[in-house]
Amino acid sequence: MSGNERGDEDKLAALDHFMLEQILSASDEEILGQAEPRDAERVEEAFRKAKLAAGKAKMAKARAAMAATQAATVVPFDPVRTRQRLNDLVKSQGEHGKRLTLAARGAKGGVDGDEEGILEDLNELLADDDGKGSP
């Protein structure tokens, strides 16, 4: 440039400031009048791609969260084994085991009609009690 680096930097900064002021003070019509249609199309395409990428990332995050909660709630159920564990529990409690009761479940038609539900609940409780996640 002129050999005076500091003076040149000041001149470039002043030119930058002037150009920015010109751009910022221009009306929308003036700016759009200078824009190339191809440039607008490229900008719109970039926005579409960014929106699509953000949507895909959000969907992947939602799917991962859903899969994590579904996988964590599955407890294997073997009614024969659970019934045997219940019988073993009753026998191990001696006289107290004969007096075991269940909380009211709102069942209609007695316990026999709701036996599978009771065994499923017991299965989950035994899994929690064992600390293994499954009985």
Domain boundaries, the chain: 5-72, 79-130
The helix/strand/coil state of 3 is: coil
CB 123 within 8 A of CB 111: no
pLDDT digits (tens, 9 = 90+) for 67-124: 888 766 667 778 888 888 888 887 888 777 677 666 666 656 555 557 777 788 888 8
Q: Which of 83, 73, 134 is nearest to 111 (CA)?
A: 83
The helix/strand/coil state of 31 is: helix
Query: Burial, 82: exposed, middle or buried (Cβ in 10 Å; 0-12, 13-18, 19+)?
Result: buried
In the chain, the amino acid numbered 38 is R
Backbone angles phi, psi at 99, to 5 degrees: -105, 15
CB 123 within 8 A of CB 77: yes
Measured distance CA(48)–CA(13) in Å, rounded: 35
pLDDT digits (tens, 9 = 90+) for 4-24: 777 889 999 999 999 999 989
